[in-house]
Amino acid sequence: MKNKDKLIIIGAGGHGRVVADVAKTMGMYSQIAFLDDNAKKSVTDYPVLGTIADAENFVNEYDFFVAVGDCAIRKRISEKLAYINANLATLIHPSAIIGSSVVVGRGTVVMPGVIINTGVTIGDGAIINTAASVDHDCIVNDYVHVSVGAHLCGTAFVGRNTWIGAGATVINNISICDDCMIGAGAVVVKDIERSGTYLGVPAVIHD
């Protein structure tokens, strides 16, 4: 679907404000606004036009981006937007380094200072956060959040709805299943086949 000239960001928190800066820096949109269930009149000079339930009123004029950190909530809102035929934008900050043959899905944001090397596939609704790196031939599935300063080494696989915490490292050739939480600073050195929270160096499950 062709991009529109205006953008609505769902979620007016800190992450949403950073997303707005990314969109502004890209220079694609003449107008940027927010929808948020805790609506204020404006967010750092951007208007809040209503709550999330009002999205259908703007489908014909605006692209949408879901700026919610929680993977499950982001997925749920994105699916509702898809149901009403909203166009989900893909936002990539100009300072990000994107290699050849990289695929970035709809509704995904790539933040400032990110490096994504050749052959990477990133799914829909993902967050590749500030100064993270994704090395060659990784697969990062839908609604994954790769947090600030996290690093995925070559040919890693990250399952859907998984959160890679700030400063965490996933070594090369590792596979992580769906619905995992990898704690801040953790180092994943073995495949993860069971959903759960993994902490420490090396990362182990914490029930």
Question: Does 43 share its domain with 122?
Answer: no
Q: What is the pLDDT of residues 12-40, one digit of tens each?
A: 999 999 999 999 999 999 999 999 998 66
Mean pLDDT of the chain: 95
Question: Does 13 share its domain with 84?
Answer: yes
Question: Does 46 share its domain with 119?
Answer: no
Q: In sequence order, which residues have a C-beta less than 8 Å from that of residue 183 and are 6 or more positions away?
A: 165, 168, 197, 198, 199, 200, 203
User: Using 50, 70 and 90 to split pLDDT, how confident is the model at 1?
Assistant: low
Residue 200 belongs to some domain of the structure? no
Give CA–CA dist 183/165, Å, rounded. 5
Whether the pTM exceeds 0.75: the reply is yes
The per-residue pLDDT for 44 is 74
Question: Does 164 share its domain with 128?
Answer: yes
Q: Catalytic site residue 93?
A: no
- Which of 136, 145, 151, 206 is catalytic? The answer is 136
Full domain range(s) for residue 11: 6-89
The SS3 assignment for 80 reads: helix
Give CA–CA dist 147/97, Å, rounded. 17
Give CA–CA dist 203/205, Å, rounded. 7
What CATH number is given to the structural domain containing 123?
2.160.10.10
Give CA–CA dist 74/151, Å, rounded. 22
Is residue 48 a contact partner of residue 12, using CB atoms and an 8 Å limit?
A: yes
Q: What is the pLDDT of residues 79-134, one digit of tens each?
A: 999 999 999 999 999 999 999 999 999 999 999 999 999 999 999 999 999 999 99
Q: What is the pLDDT of residues 35-91, one digit of tens each?
A: 999 866 677 789 999 999 999 999 999 999 999 999 999 999 999 999 999 999 999
Residue 206 belongs to some domain of the structure? no
Question: Does 96 share its domain with 173?
Answer: yes
Number of H helices, E strands in the chain: 2, 25
Task: Give the residue from 89, 113, 147 where a domain finishes.
Answer: 89
Question: Does 102 share its domain with 168?
Answer: yes
Count of domains in the chain?
A: 2
Residue whose entry in the numeric block shows the structure tokens 């160096």: 201
User: Sign of dihedral through CA atoms 164, 161, 19, 115?
Assistant: positive
